[in-house]
Amino acid sequence: MEAFRQYDAGQLSTEKLNAVADRAVLEALHIQVDAGVDIVTDGEQRRSNFFSFIAEKLDGVEIMTLAQLMDVVEDRASFERTLRTMDAPAFAIKNPTVVGPVKLRMP
């Protein structure tokens, strides 16, 4: 997760992020094999969440924190009320947000 935070902040290249993920996958596989698991999985180490691996392949979509969404919502006051109701940490939760025409950037 630290590698994903560094990558999102522009402090880690895609190649280095992939290297960290490769090591994490091997570690997860070794742990499962050592534990006697019959069917092993990579643990989805290359996914920081369930949507970023898709959103990063699209133009017109950005991953934004709830705090960043405050700048683009139509009804800021209503959005703030919703956040207070949810008791959501505005900087911790990220969402895919359409910010322009959506086009495929890479497969």
C-alpha 42/C-alpha 56 separation (Å) is 21
Average pLDDT for the chain: 86
b/e 65-103 (16+ beta carbons within 10 angstroms → b)? ebeebeeeeeeeeeeeeebeeeeeeeeeebebbeeeeee
| Mean local confidence (pLDDT), 74-86 | 84
Are the CB atoms for 55 and 61 separated by under 8 Å? Answer: yes
In this prediction, residue 11 carries a pLDDT of 95
Work out the pLDDT band at 94, boundaries 50, 70, 90. confident
The domain locations on the chain are 1-48, 60-100
Q: Which of 42, 44, 41, 45 is nearest to 17 (CA)?
A: 45
Helices (H), the chain: 2-8, 14-34, 52-55, 66-69, 76-86
Predicted pLDDT of residue 100: 92
CA distance 81 to 98: 22
pLDDT tens digits along 28-50: 999 999 999 999 998 777 776 77
Supply the pLDDT for residue 107. 83
Whole-number percent of the chain with pLDDT over 90: 36
Q: What is the pLDDT of residues 2-33, one digit of tens each?
A: 888 898 889 999 899 999 999 999 999 999 99
**What mean pLDDT comes out for the span 76-105?**
83
